[in-house]
Amino acid sequence: MQIHENFSLKPLNTFAIAAKARFFASFSSVEELQSLLNTKYFLDGNQPIILGGGSNILFTKDVDGFVLKNDLRGISVVAEDDVFYYVKAAAGEVWHQLVEYCLQHNYAGLENLSLIPGNVGASPMQNIGAYGVEIKDVFHELEALHVKEHYLRTFTLTECAFGYRESIFKKTLKNQFIILNVTFKLRKAPVFNTSYGAIEQELNKMRVTTLSIQHIAQAVIQIRQSKLPDPKVMGNAGSFFKNPTISAASFVSLQQLWPTIPFYEVPQQLYKIPAAWLIEQCGFKGYRKGDAGCNPLQPLVLVNYGAASGAEIIALSQMIIDAVQNRFGIVLEREVNIL
């Protein structure tokens, strides 16, 4: 366990922002984490910033504090019943590698979440989702460490209070716990989910006749690769904004002005509008200012073409928010965590 000073975070965030941490250390065991939290820096009451895969974070300045990188590893089946395997994964595991592990062993449920960047620990925090599936649909429990009092606590599905890209760890318990591992409830007999987005169309192009979770995963991967930039090539954090939800009355008014507006009906008589469509209608698809830009294939993704600062990315996002609000009366909410 080594503590570094003035440590570059550029290779540790997918936006490739050139920020530095005043102090930095990584931990690969709970004991190492507890030792770090017992150092004088944290005993003085300071809060750490926990870094996983760095795929849902935007640094707008240097971190005048302590960044801890979660390098906990391990995947195992901890229980099973007639219907489910219970698969526990350490928070530092790469998310897509967990998906691949489950595909290899025919544990069904994560296939629609293929190729999402980031680590396992962020998955319940964000309630990540794609192509009709969210973490809450496959979640069993997680274990976390209290930052100040250092006790372990297990959180159930209900206790996590999952919402759309939300959980209790982004609200009431923000910065209070460090997620150590997550246990997923994965089916022995798959229940296929192919109705969302272009999955069925992609499966037809693949000429799939006998459906499997492996086929769905491959379709999702091909769709994502066709329209989302690889963070290793172009800095980005995936979807930058949440898809907004509006009331039925607001939707009717908008549909009268824009009859082709796309939408998804959601519970409680609400309508979800694709943020990408709103952004494109405001002329930002492919927009670039300096090295900060809006992806030309998927306008929901903001990109760093090379040397953009976090401040430039956030300024571009505010331009988009203002434009969408002025034109549609809808306020976009950032999905990415801003530091």
- Can you read off the two tokens belonging to residue 152? 């372990």
Q: For residue 43, what are the contacts with CB-CB under 8 A and spacing of at least 6?
A: none
Positions marked active-site:
165, 239, 335
State how far the Cα of 83 lies from the Cα of 206, in Å rounded to an integer. Answer: 30
Do 185 and 78 touch, CB atoms closer than 8 A? no
DSSP structure string for 242-290: PPPEEEHHHHHHHHHH-TT---EEETTTEEE--HHHHHHHTT-TT-EET
169, 124 in Cβ contact below 8 A? Answer: yes
Query: Phi, psi at residue 212, to the nearest 5°?
Result: -145, 165
- DSSP character at residue 116: -
How many whole angstroms separate alpha carbon 51 and alpha carbon 61? 15
Q: Provide the 3-class DSSP secondary structure of residue 134.
A: strand
